[in-house]
Amino acid sequence: MPRPVGRRAEILETFARHVAERGYDQTNLGDIADELGMSKGTIVHHFGTKAQMLREVEENYMRRQLHAVHGMWERLEKPQERVAAIIYASVLLHVVDRHATVATQREVVQLSDDPAMQEVRKLRGEMQRLTEAELQQGVDAGLFRKIDVRVTTLQLFGSVQWMWVWFDPKGPQTPEEVGASMVDVFLGGLLLDRYGLQQVADPKGAVVTVVRECLTAVGESPE
């Protein structure tokens, strides 16, 4: 699922960067038009409103995420590998798709009651259900301790979706190392037998390789 190309895509990507850097309320279509050397009317012609632009950024972002996750599921079979993949992907997206990632996480409640956001909510729900299913499979297989899979899923996404306020991709730890630390803590609290934890919490391991390759396949190439 490669990214769209052309002027429209350029406008949307610039909008996502402005939202990531300034927040939705402080993002001004006039500033975007000036930066791109076009009229504000051209942006309105393509998108209609600023709200519609945010909806499109969020919808495109979630579709790319889900496409990548389905690719990971085809290559990873164990629940612990798949849960680890979700965590690694969440960290790497702050590098390979940073503006859209920060914009959607920063404004996660923006327009949440807008009926036009129904598709975005549906896509987010699908991601949540995929994660809940893997946690439940791990419980049923005797790999994970008994938990409330819904609450645990919300804890997971609550953690990774708050990363934009503290995670620096240029910090002393690589994104893979940060992801590995989060995998170690999260899965360490779930696994009944931690024998295989080191393997999935390896920042240079097979799970990370799969995640990077699947992100690349949807047009988010790790640098």
Q: Quick check: 102 pLDDT over 70?
A: yes
Residue 190 DSSP class:
T
pLDDT grade, residue 110 (50/70/90)? low
User: According to the model, what pLDDT value does residue 130 have?
Assistant: 96
Q: Which residues of 182-208 are buried (b: 16+ CB within 10 A; e: fewer)?
A: bbbebbeebbeeeeebeebbbbebebb
CATH domain 50-217 topology? Tetracycline Repressor; domain 2 (1.10.357)
Q: For residue range 207-222, what is the model confidence (pLDDT) as tens digits? A: 999 999 999 998 754 4
Average pLDDT of 139-146?
A: 97
pLDDT tier for residue 111 given thresholds of 50, 70 and 90: low
Sign of CA dihedral 107, 42, 98, 78: positive
Residue with tokens 């327009």: 111
Where helices occur in 141-202 by DSSP H, the ranges are: 149-160, 175-188, 197-200
Helix (H, G, I), strand (E, B) or coil at 160: helix
Give one DSSP letter per residue of 11-31, joined into a string.
Answer: HHHHHHHHHHHH-TTT--HHH
Question: What confidence tier does 95 reach under pLDDT thresholds 50, 70, 90?
Answer: very high
Tokens, residue 14: 């610039």
Check: CB of residue 81 under 8 Å from CB of residue 205: no
Q: Name the pLDDT band for 129 (thresholds 50, 70, 90).
A: very high
Domain locations in the chain as residue ranges: 50-217
- pLDDT over threshold 60, residue 54: yes
Q: How far apart are CA 9 and CA 12, in angstroms?
A: 5
Q: Which residues pair with 144 in a beta bridge?
A: 191
Report the DSSP beta bridge partners of residue 191.
144
